[in-house]
Amino acid sequence: MNHFRHLAFPFLALAAVLQGCSVAQTPYIGTCGRTPNLELVSLAMAPDPLPEARKIDTWRAIIRSDSADVCQTTIDVVEAETQKPVTPELHSEVSLGMNEVILDSLASYRLSGNEICFTVGAYINNNKITLESPRRFCARTIDRGWWSMR
């Protein structure tokens, strides 16, 4: 009987590990010791300038964090007025100081109109927040059929 106990132990340990792996995950990653103050320092699209009908390739956000913790967060870029997403959500880490985050653009997203402003959101510690910024980040038509955020 003792022999069976020794054989059963590895299987019980494996079952415990696998059970821990099967816990349902939230669709958002966003944990940190305390919710940091996050500030959007810069937001740029590439290419810039951009022809009117062309897809934006990437977005580059510079985010400042005041937390000494490395914080798991989910980041996205949306149109400021409509809250229409322009990027898929990206799981990223932010840490103390400046953090560069590169996001892909949604394949279907195109600029239209004369001016569109954008905000960056972060999901962290079960809260969705819009990052504060010292200025607005907007794309404008600059020449016949061209857009720029500069």
Q: What is residue 144's predicted lDDT score, i.e. its pLDDT?
A: 82
Domain-embedded: residue 140: yes
The tally of domains found in the chain comes to 1
Domain-embedded: residue 139: yes
Q: In this structure, what token pair is assigned to residue 141?
A: 């038509």
C-alpha span between 99 and 62 (Å, rounded): 6
Return the CATH number at 114.
2.60.40.10
73-92, pLDDT tens digit by residue?
A: 999 999 999 999 999 999 99
40-68, pLDDT tens digit by residue?
A: 999 999 999 999 889 999 999 999 999 88
Domain-embedded: residue 22: no
C-alpha span between 88 and 90 (Å, rounded): 6
Q: What letter represents residue 36's amino acid?
A: P
Residue 5 scores a pLDDT above 60: no
Domain-embedded: residue 25: no
Residue 17 scores a pLDDT above 70: no
Residue 108 scores a pLDDT above 80: yes
Domain-embedded: residue 128: yes
C-alpha span between 110 and 105 (Å, rounded): 9
Higher pLDDT, 116 or 10: 116
Domain hosting 106: range is 38-148
Domain-embedded: residue 117: yes
Q: What is the pTM of this model?
A: 0.77
